[in-house]
Amino acid sequence: MIAIAIGFLAGAAAAAFQLPLPLQIGMSALFALVSAFFIRHWKLTHLQNEVRDIHDEIGQRVSIETWQDENHARVRYRGSQWDAVLAQDCQRGDDDYWYITAQHGATLEISNKKPL
């Protein structure tokens, strides 16, 4: 939407300078495409930074709120509740603290052993 708006703005500027209609349309299309390219590049750059931030979560401590079954639980992390699944090498226990070993979407993978 922003790229299209920038294209319209460029077309309006061309119209204000009384340029021919084909040139106004061409400028609108060109500016919209260039804007879309830069917005996409910016978005990909910032999404990669967010993916790196997920790795900062690994090793953080969580506490079990409730067990849903043998392998799934609700945990408290950063002031809110999250769904969690036990890591493959781990079994349910009465440990006070668990550690994040991975994140799969909005689900945390946890273990009672702190990852290295």
Q: What is the pLDDT along the chain (116 residues), one digit of tens a residue?
A: 999 999 999 999 999 999 999 999 999 999 999 999 999 998 888 776 555 555 678 889 998 999 999 889 999 988 889 999 999 888 887 777 899 998 888 899 999 888 77
The confidence score (pLDDT) of residue 49 equals 57
- DSSP for 61-80 reads EEEEEEESSSSEEEEEETTE
Taking the whole predicted model, whether its pTM rises above 0.75 is answered as no
Cβ–Cβ contacts within 10 Å for residue 19, how many?
A: 14
| Number of helices followed by number of strands (H, E) in the chain | 2, 5
The confidence score (pLDDT) of residue 91 equals 81
The confidence score (pLDDT) of residue 50 equals 55
Please compute, for residue 2, the number of CA atoms within 13 A of its CA located in the half-sphere on the CB side.
Answer: 8
Which pairs from 34-41 meet CB under 8 Å and 24+ separation?
Answer: 35/2, 35/3, 35/6, 35/7, 36/3, 39/2, 39/3
Q: Which of 104, 61, 63, 58 is nearest to 85 (CA)?
A: 104
The confidence score (pLDDT) of residue 55 equals 66
The confidence score (pLDDT) of residue 104 equals 86
Tell me, what amino acid is at 13? A
